[in-house]
Amino acid sequence: MTQLDRLSSEDIAARLSGSPEARAALIREGAQAGLAEAQAVLGQMLLDQQKPVEAFGWFWKAAQQGHAMGLNMLGRCYDLGWGTPVDKLRAAECFRVAAEAGLDWGMYNYGSALALGTGLTEDKAAALGWFEKAAAMGHAKSANFVGSFHEEGTIVPRDMAAAAACYARAAEGGDFRGMFNHARMLAEAGDIDGALRWIERCGAEAKPVFRDKALAWLAQVPDERLRTEGTAALLKER
């Protein structure tokens, strides 16, 4: 029996509601006691603290117990070289197992690997299937990808109404790419007020590289108000 086993549910709740140091200590205790959930959480904490090598080790331990998020984050480490050399093949395999375990983020990352052909053979139709499964679970980024498939019309017939609905769900779910795409659809439908609201929200959430892409799109739009006010919203100090 570990010290953690001796704690009552009230003791655990009290420590979790205490100081950040107390919460961190409890999570580390759980991880060291072999609890996969705590190992995955500790890995994320260490990643946030810019300690990727330690994070990788805890994700590995959680993944060895079949923990879906631990597997997904281990895949992210292999994919991006966090604490380990980049290995796209291993990354895709981790994402696949996490996806098949029912994790929406695993589905999204495995779908992305299939769509891009990173670590495995490109298969956009299979990618769409995983994005649809994750989107049905409320995963905003996946909903945005499903929208792009409907808009492009390469794997499924082009359906702008379906694309617009997917982008709206992605935007409302907090995905900045979905916010931008939703704004595009609203602008095309003549709702400039609505488009500007979502462009402003996109600007508050988007990464600089994506913000630059949105600015480039705005520079081309014919509506002067959308162009000027949208640009101002994206360049607004946060």
* 42-96 pLDDT, tens digit each: 999 999 999 999 999 999 999 999 999 999 999 999 999 999 999 999 999 999 9
Answer whether residue 23 is part of any domain: no
- Per the structure, the complete domain to which residue 184 belongs is given by 175-238
Indicate whether 215 belongs to any domain. yes
Residue at 125 is within a domain = no
**8: pLDDT strictly greater than 70:** no
**pTM score, two decimals?**
0.89
Is 159 contained in some domain? no
Q: Give CA angle at 95 (90, 96), nearest 5°.
A: 95
Give the residue among 95, 172, 113, 115 at the shortest CA–CA distance from 141.
172
Per-residue pLDDT tens over the stretch 97-138 = 999 999 999 999 999 999 999 888 999 999 999 999 999 999
Structure tokens at 8: 């009552």
The total number of structural domains that make up the chain = 1
In a domain, 67, yes or no: no
